[in-house]
Amino acid sequence: MRSRNALPRFSSLLCLLFLPTVFSSSPRPQWILQRVPVVLPQQTEARPDPQFLNPARLDVAFHCDPECHKKAPRPSYWDLRHHLAYETLHSNGELTETAIGIYGYNPSLSTSPAYSTGKTEQTHVRRKRQIFGHDGRFSIVGQNFLLQFPFSVAVKLSTGCSGTLVGDRHVLTAAHCVHDGKNYVKGAQKLRVGFLKPKLDARHSPIFFPSNFTNHVEGGPGQYAPPISDKMKFQWIRARRTHVPKGWIKGTANDIGMDYDYALLELKKPHKRRHMKLGVSPPAQRLPGRRVHFSGFDNDRLGQLVYRFCRAGEETSDLLYQHCDAQPGASGSGVYARMWNGRRRRWERKVIGVFSGHQSVERQGASHEFNVAVRITPLKYAQICYWIKGNFVDCREG
């Protein structure tokens, strides 16, 4: 019998489905393409082999709030070159470090204020909460639904995090899922990526949803039928290479900034699924309904894909703050938005950030709590796109 606690969640979703009809006369929110800088690899050198000693921390928390980040000094050109240099972990355990050059860099479009080490006015940090009030997450189950875009782009990492397909064999995730700030975590060398697939069982019937149901969830009117449970399993593919920016590799996980908490995995073989495009993160006020969406594998719902959406809150050049309900395991999920592509004359979803972790700060007797995503800035777009494409020509417009 369905829990009574589930009913308010379905009601809130139904409210969301019908809200956009009120604003139907407003202009379409559009992706605005912009020229981005070029981030090119220069010199690559071998590094000492990693140790792979510590398990990945899935509940990484940070104590520098939006004001703290906004007050930090803007990084220089040379700082950015250092932060965007990167390490590559190969599946045979070898490690290399690559210096980069930045060309066509425009400070007005640049990434972020540099991070701070979190020395804010704080008396103590209380127990981390990643559910804000009523739990607004939805478990996505049912064979047809799980295999339907955009839910089909969500994957699970063998270290316990989530990720998003952004290329034929590429997965975007959070850096802390593979590196703790000092070294690569246990399991990073033999990292695997899991694709949720149906386990055939005659006792369970597949459920069928309208072909455009995912559009309804993200902004169109429509009916919603609460899903039922189907048995699923993971199919795993090994990672060949893992890229981590040097901006993340500085110290313990709680002492470094969140600005560079992203990593890209290259799989050993193509995954043969539709992937999501990468996009430069627009200002929050330009997002449809000012909402963001992401799906991941939260630890409190083992084996289930969990979808959520919420209103984007404060933002800095590199970080987006929101109150999307999440639990450990969702780290690394691709935060996306759906807007109109005027050039192609169609709606497109693009990944504009990576869900990173939680911030809980006590300041002047009040508690301030956020869930935080790393925004894909023009420089980060140029870097990640180059990792995917292998050239800069296809990475000039984000």
Q: Are 303 and 139 in contact (CB under 8 A)?
A: no
- Rounded-to-integer distance, Cα 257 and Cα 69, Å: 9
d(CA 227, CA 246): 43
- Token pair belonging to 391: 């050239």
Cα–Cα distance, 115 to 74 (Å, whole number): 9
Enter the tokens of residue 98: 């690559």
Cα 229 to chain centroid, rounded: 26
DSSP class of 143: H
Its sign, for the CA torsion 366, 358, 58, 137, is positive
CB atoms within 10 A of CB 99: 16
Rounded to 5 degrees, φ, ψ at 138 are: -125, 125
Range 252-256 contact pairs with CB under 8 angstroms and sequence separation of 24 or more: 252/180, 252/181, 252/182, 253/57, 253/60, 253/176, 253/180, 253/181, 254/60, 254/61, 254/62, 254/63, 254/118, 255/117, 255/118, 255/181, 256/115, 256/117, 256/181
Q: How far apart are CA 357 and CA 374, in angstroms?
A: 9
Catalytic (active-site) positions: 176, 255, 331
